[in-house]
Amino acid sequence: MKKDIHIPEVENVFIVAVQEWSDDFMEKVWYAYLVNDSDFLIESVMVVSKAFGTIDGEMKKTSLLRHAFVEVPAVSVVKIEMLEKSVLVLNNEFMVTYFIGDKLYDKKFIFKADCINENSVEEVPILFVDGIIVR
């Protein structure tokens, strides 16, 4: 029965976009990070990302990218991927799934189109740098 299914709520785990210098591109680029600001170790972490939206009236979407992390310690961050300039005009979605103990947690985080820019930054917990936070 549906009423017997308990889906735990994700708390203190979120995705951020942070701009960093890249020696490869010789400019600042945006990177996505997974932040575990909880008191718990999260294990068997799977992050699936994609971008989608409309450009010049035409529907666009990227391939799915999958990232796996054996564990992410409490109060820590892991770098997920670089966010290519051309996908910042699209919605960028990150589906995060992980375990705390024997409970499975999952949540979808979406950076809305054009929200990743230098004018929308705030201080990111744990990293203590400016970035865009999606909770």
| Sign for the pseudo-dihedral over CA of 118, 68, 87, 57 | negative
Half-sphere exposure of 45 (CA within 13 A, CB side): 23
Q: How far is CA 108 from CA 6, 70, 119, in A?
A: 18, 20, 24
Q: What is the mean pLDDT of residues 122-131?
A: 95
Rg of the chain in Å (alpha carbons): 16
Give the pLDDT confidence score for residue 5 in this predicted structure.
74
Give the pLDDT confidence score for residue 71 in this predicted structure.
98
Structural domain boundaries in the chain = 14-129
Give the pLDDT confidence score for residue 1 in this predicted structure.
65
For residues 1 and 8, give the distance between their C-alpha atoms in angstroms, rounded to a whole number: 17
pLDDT at 59 over 70: yes
Give the pLDDT confidence score for residue 6 in this predicted structure.
80
Class of domain 14-129: mainly beta
Entry pTM? 0.93
For residues 29 and 130, give the distance between their C-alpha atoms in angstroms, rounded to a whole number: 13
Task: Output the average pLDDT for the chain.
Answer: 95
Q: What is the mean pLDDT of residues 46-72?
A: 96
pLDDT at 58 over 80: yes
For residues 129 and 18, give the distance between their C-alpha atoms in angstroms, rounded to a whole number: 8
Going by C-beta distance under 8 Å and a sequence separation of 6 or more, which residues neighbour residue 26?
A: none
